[in-house]
Amino acid sequence: MRTVVALGGNALVSGGEGGVAEMRDHLARVAPQLGTLAERGHDLVVTHGNGPQVGGLLREQAAADTAERPLDVLVAETQAQIGTLVVRALDAELDAQAVSVVTHAVVDSDDDAFSDPAKPVGPYLDADTARNADYSTREVETERGTVHRRVVPSPKPRGLLESEHVARLADAGTPVVCGGGGGVPVARDDGNESLRGVEAVVDKDYTAELLARETDADTLLLVTDVPCAYRNYNTPDQEPIRDASVGRMRDLLDAGEFEAGSMRPKVDACLDFLDADGERAIITTIDDAAAAVEGDAGTRIS
pLDDT score of 260: 85
Q: Is 173 a catalytic residue?
A: no
pLDDT band for position 65 (50/70/90)? confident
Mean pLDDT of 31-45: 96
**pLDDT at residue 196 above 90?**
yes
pLDDT score of 189: 80
Q: Is 156 a catalytic residue?
A: no
Class of 2-105+160-301 per CATH? alpha beta
- In the set 18, 179, 204, 298, the catalytic residue is 204
Q: Which residue has the higher pLDDT, 15 or 290?
A: 290
**pLDDT at residue 8 above 80?**
yes
CA angle 159-164-167, nearest 5°? 115
**pLDDT at residue 9 above 70?**
no
- In the set 9, 16, 159, 197, the catalytic residue is 9
pLDDT band for position 223 (50/70/90)? very high
CA nearest 58: which of 167, 144, 151? 151
pLDDT score of 146: 87
Q: Is 9 a catalytic residue?
A: yes
d(CA 273, CA 48): 18
d(CA 276, CA 241): 22
Task: Note the residue count of the chain.
Answer: 302
pLDDT band for position 67 (50/70/90)? confident
- In the set 122, 266, 278, 298, the catalytic residue is 266
pTM here? 0.93
Q: Is 192 a catalytic residue?
A: no
pLDDT score of 283: 98
Mean pLDDT of 11-20: 75
Q: Is 50 a catalytic residue?
A: no
pLDDT band for position 17 (50/70/90)? low
d(CA 233, CA 235): 6
Determine how many CB atoms are found less than 10 A away from the CB of residue 217: 26
Contact 273, 253 (CB under 8 A): no
What percent of the chain clears pLDDT 70, i.e. is strictly above it? 97
pLDDT score of 16: 65
Task: Please state the domain extents for the chain.
Answer: 2-105+160-301
